[in-house]
Amino acid sequence: MPMPNSLPAKYGALNAMEFSDEAKQVLVKILTTAFPHKNFPQGPYERMADKLISMADESPWFRMKLIQGVETIDAGADRKFSDLPYEEALEALKKVERTEFFSFIRRMTILTMYEDEEVWSSVGYEGP
């Protein structure tokens, strides 16, 4: 059952945390690194990041995991994760690939992003 937009009182600290534009850019970088496609436009990655953030608003557990994961991966790099070149970003992702945070992102992206019609045209899929 989806949670209402306001989280329970015991998650008050999570209620106060907002996903910044910078956090969204970290998510987009995670997605472009984990799901690299030469001819993909940026739109599907950005929409997937928005979808993940939207899902976090509905689930206290996922909100906590997403916030912790974004903060952890960004703090683990020498500089901002979103500024890392592909190879360095890939190495950083390998360090978190077995976490609940990354597993959830991977699972939801596989189930969701590849349903985007812009993705279909990018990979040459003509549709259902």
* Per-residue model confidence as pLDDT tens digits over 79-106: 888 899 999 999 999 999 998 889 989 9
Query: What percent of the chain stands above pLDDT 70?
Result: 84
pLDDT value of residue 5: 44
Mean pLDDT by 10 residues, the chain (128 residues): 43 54 89 90 92 86 83 80 92 91 91 85 76
pLDDT value of residue 39: 80
pLDDT value of residue 94: 93
DSSP string, the chain: -PPPSSPPGGGHHHHH----HHHHHHHHHHHHHHS--TT--SHHHHHHHHHHHHHHHH-HHHHHHHHHHHHHHHHTSSS-GGGS-HHHHHHHHHHHTTSHHHHHHHHHHHHHGGG-HHHHHHHT----
Q: What is the pTM of this model?
A: 0.79
pLDDT value of residue 14: 47
Distance CA 7, CA 83 (A): 32
pLDDT value of residue 18: 62
41 CB-near residues (< 8 Å, 6+ apart): 118, 122
